[in-house]
Amino acid sequence: MNRLSIEGVSRNFGGVRALDDVSFVVEPGTIHGLIGPNGAGKTTLINILSGLLPPNTGRMSYKNCDLHRLAVYQMAAIGIARTFQNIRLFPHMTCLENVEAGQHLTSRRSLLPRLLQLPSARREDRQLHERAMQTLDRVGLADKAYYQSRNLSYGERRRLEIARALALNPSLLLLDEPVAGMRQGEASVVADLLRTLCREGTTILLIEHNMSFVMSLCSRITVLDFGRVLTTGSPAEVRACHEVIEAYLGAGVPHHA
Amino acid sequence: MEHLLQFYAIYGSVINFIGINALMALSLNVTLSAGMLSLGNAAFAAIGGYTAGILSLHFKLPYVVSLAGGTFAAGLVGLVIGLPVLRLRGVFLAMATLAFGEMVRLAAVNLNVTGGAEGLTGIPNVTTTWMIYLVLAAAAYFLAVLRRSRLGWGLISIREDETAAGSLGIRITYYKVVAFVIGAMLAGLAGGMYAHLNYLITPRDYGFFIAVDLLIYNIVGGIGVWYGPILGAVMLTALPEVLRGIGVTAGPIRLGINGLILLLVILFLPNGLASLFSRRQRSDAKVEAG
C-alpha cells in the first residue's frame, strides 16, 4: 500500500514529550498539510519520518516497509525525499551541481567506464546534466544554474532544495516550510509546482505557517499542539474545529461570564 | 641534455622525494575531499613501507609483489581502523588517527621484525624516478576521475552537508570507510616505493610531523582539485633546495618559512595555490569577500 501511515508515534526529549501518540494517514497522491503552533512537534515528526530521529514508540509504514526499521539512506531508496526547515544545500556547489548530487540514486556514474573514458560515461553525464537542467527549470531556477548556491536569495535557496529533492524522483515528498520567507508571487510559483507534482502522482506532506498557502493547497490537514494531534480533516473542517481555534488564539470567553 | 643530466645527478634525490611526497599528499586528499581530517596517513605509509620492505628483504619477493603486499596491508589496516574510528567527526577523528599513528610508530620502534629504532636496512633500492612519476600520474588521474564518479559525488556531498547527503540516499559510513581505505592504500603504496628508494626505513620517517606536513601540502596547494596537493608538495619540498640555491641555509628556519607560507595562503588564497589556475574558484572567493 502506498499510503503513509503513522500509528501511535511518541518521542521524548528528556522530560519534554515532543510527540505524544501521534496517528494519522497520508493518502497517496494528495497534498497533506501539517500545521500547529511553534513547538508543536511538526519538525520532530518529519525528522522521525525521514529517519534522522528514532521514535520512542509507535510504527510508521510506507510501501509495505516499516520506516522505523530503515536507515536514513534507505528512506531515499523507497522514494521518500525531504527538505529542511533550516535549508541544507551544498554551499560550494553550483545550483546545477546541487541537483546533480541529488541524482545519487537515479544515476550509475560507474568508475570503470570513466577511467577508460568510454563514450557511455560521457553520454550518461550529458543525460544527467540535461535532466538536472529540467529539474531546475521546474522550480524556475534554470537561469541560475551556474550560480553558487550560497549566493542565491532565501526563497531561491528553498526552491533549489526542492529541486534537489525532486532529483530523487520521489513518490513521497516531505517539505519543512517550503515557502517560509518567500514573497507572495514566489510562493504561488511553488504552490503551482506542488499541484503539478500532485497531479503526476507524488504524495506531499508539508509543514507550513502560511495559512492561505496551506488552506488553498492541501486536501487534508493535520493539526498538532503540544505533541498531540488535535484533528485531521479537510481545510473547512479544520477551520471550523473549536480546539484548533483555541490552540491558535487562546480559549474563548465563556458565554455566561 | 648534458645540463639536464648534471641537474639530475645533483638533484635526483630531491626530485624523487618530491614525487613521493606528492603521492602521500594525494592519499590524504581522498579523505579530505569528504571532509574527514585524518592524521593517520603517515602511519599507513609506514605500514606499506615496512610490509613491502620485509617482503623484499626476508622473503625475496619481486618488487611489484612487495609493493602490492604493502599497499594491501595498509588498506586492510585502514579498513579495521576505519570502521570504528569513522563514527567520529572533525577534531575527534583527527585525535583518534593521531593516536593510531603514534601506536604504529611505537610498534615499529619496539618490534624485532621492523628492526627497532634503527629501522630496516638493506632493502634493495629498485624504485626509480620514472616509476615514482608514473605512479603519481596514475594516482592523480584516478583521483580526478573518482571525483566525477558516484563515489566522488557522494564524498563531496558528505563534506558539504552530511545530514543532507544522507537524505539523498548516500550511505555515509560506507562511503567514508571506502575513502579512508583508498587513502590508506595510496599512502601504503607511497611508503613501499619510498622504502625501496633509500635502502632503509626508520620509524622517524613516519612520525607526527610527516602527517602534519601532508596536511600542509593539501592546504597550501588546495584541496578542491586533484593537482592541488601535488602543487603544495612540490613547492614545499623544493623550497629548502631553492633557498640553498640562492644562498640561504634553510635548515633551522625551514619550519618558520613553511608556517609563513601556510599563513599567507590561508589569508589570501583560501582555496590554495590551485585557485591561481582555476578561474571559477578565484572569482568565487571574490564574491565571498565582497
For residues B35-61, give the mean pLDDT: 95
Residues 6+ apart with CB under 8 A from A191: A179, A213, A216, A217
For residues B111-127, give the mean pLDDT: 91
| pLDDT reported for residue B284 | 47
More confident: A252 or A158: A158
pLDDT surpassing 60 at residue B288:
no
pLDDT surpassing 60 at residue A109:
yes
Q: Are A214 and A42 within 8 A, CB to CB?
A: no
Our measurement of the distance from residue A210's CA atom to the centroid of its chain's CA atoms, rounded to an integer in Å, reads 15
Residue (of B166, B37, B175, B24) closest to B95 by Cα position: B37
β-strand pairing of A220-225 with A228-233: antiparallel
Percent of chain B past pLDDT 70, that is, above it, reads 94
| Chain B residues touching residue A109 (CB < 8 angstroms) | 148-150, 153
Domains contained in chain B, CATH given: 14-289 (1.10.3470)
User: Is the CB of A50 inside 8 Å of chain B's CB atoms?
Assistant: yes
Size of interface A-B (CB pairs under 8 A): 88
**Rounded to the nearest 5°, which phi and psi values hold at A89?**
-90, 170
Mean pLDDT of chain B: 90
State how far the Cα of B267 lies from the Cα of A233, in Å rounded to an integer: 57
Q: Report residue A126's pLDDT band, with 50, 70 and 90 as the boundaries.
A: very high
Lowest-pLDDT range of A86-90, A100-104, A178-182, B46-50: A178-182
| Residue B169 three-state SS | coil
- Which of B148, B153, B160 comes nearest A104 by C-beta? B153
Cα maximum dimension of chain B:
61
Segment 110-129 of chain A within 8 Å of chain B by CB = 110-111, 114-115, 125
pLDDT surpassing 60 at residue B144:
yes
**pTM to 2 decimals?**
0.91
Contact criterion met (CB < 8 Å) for B150 and A104: yes
State how far the Cα of A4 lies from the Cα of A171, in Å rounded to an integer: 11
Closest-CA residue of chain B to A110: B149
| pLDDT reported for residue A246 | 84
Q: Report residue B285's pLDDT band, with 50, 70 and 90 as the boundaries.
A: very low
Each residue of B109-131: b (16+ CB within 10 Å) or e?
beeeebbeeebbeebeeebeeeb
| Chain B residues touching residue A118 (CB < 8 angstroms) | none
More confident: A223 or B257: A223
Contact criterion met (CB < 8 Å) for A81 and B167: yes
State how far the Cα of A192 lies from the Cα of A213, in Å rounded to an integer: 11
| Chain A residues touching residue B163 (CB < 8 angstroms) | 52, 84, 88
